[in-house]
């Protein structure tokens, strides 16, 4: 069972979770999604919350729906690549802003990242 933070809107958290799953190919392009009610049971939340998350994802073009088929992940690979890029950009900005607030210079940010990737914590 997935647990969500009760301090943030749960529909947003579901949206972010599904976006991550689309960007990392847990969901493939064109893949059919489970019904709202089934997803609600997976996430242990209200079906209307899932409905809202999916409607928003639909509005953003990441999810499509057809009456006879149901809801599925967009087949637009460019949109998925863009989504992946957006998630990377967001995470990068958050990280850099936090370090800038800690008065780190650009050079020391780069050094810190390189060292961390090498497995060195100092």
Which region among 1-9, 55-63, 77-85, 86-94 touches other proteins (by CB under 8 A)? Answer: 1-9
Is the distance from CB of 116 to CB of 95 less than 8 angstroms? no
Binding track over 37-76 against other proteins, x by CB under 8 A: x--xx--xxxxxx--x------------------------
Q: Rounded CA gap, 77 and 84, in Å?
A: 11
Closest distance to other proteins from the beta carbon of 2 (Å):
10
C-alpha Rg value of the chain to the nearest Å: 18
The closest of 34, 118, 68, 93 to 14, measured between CA atoms, is 34
Q: Rounded CA gap, 31 and 122, in Å?
A: 44
Residue 122 is a binding residue for other proteins (CB under 8 A): no
Binding track over 20-39 against other proteins, x by CB under 8 A: -----------------x--
Residues engaged in binding other proteins (CB under 8 A): 1, 4-12, 37, 40-41, 44-49, 52
């Amino acid at each position: 069972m997935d647990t969500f933070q009760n301090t943030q809107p749960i529909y947003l958290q579901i949206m972010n979770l599904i976006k991550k799953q689309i960007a990392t190919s847990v969901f493939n392009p064109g893949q059919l999604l489970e019904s709202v009610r089934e997803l609600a049971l997976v996430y242990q939340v209200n079906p209307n919350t899932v409905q809202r998350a999916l409607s928003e994802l639909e509005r953003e073009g990441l999810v499509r729906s057809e009456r006879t088929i149901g809801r599925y992940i967009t087949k637009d690979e460019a949109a998925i690549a863009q989504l992946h890029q957006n998630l990377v950009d967001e995470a990068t900005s958050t990280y850099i802003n936090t370090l800038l607030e800690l008065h780190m210079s650009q050079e020391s940010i780069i050094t810190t990242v390189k060292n961390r990737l090498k497995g060195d914590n100092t």
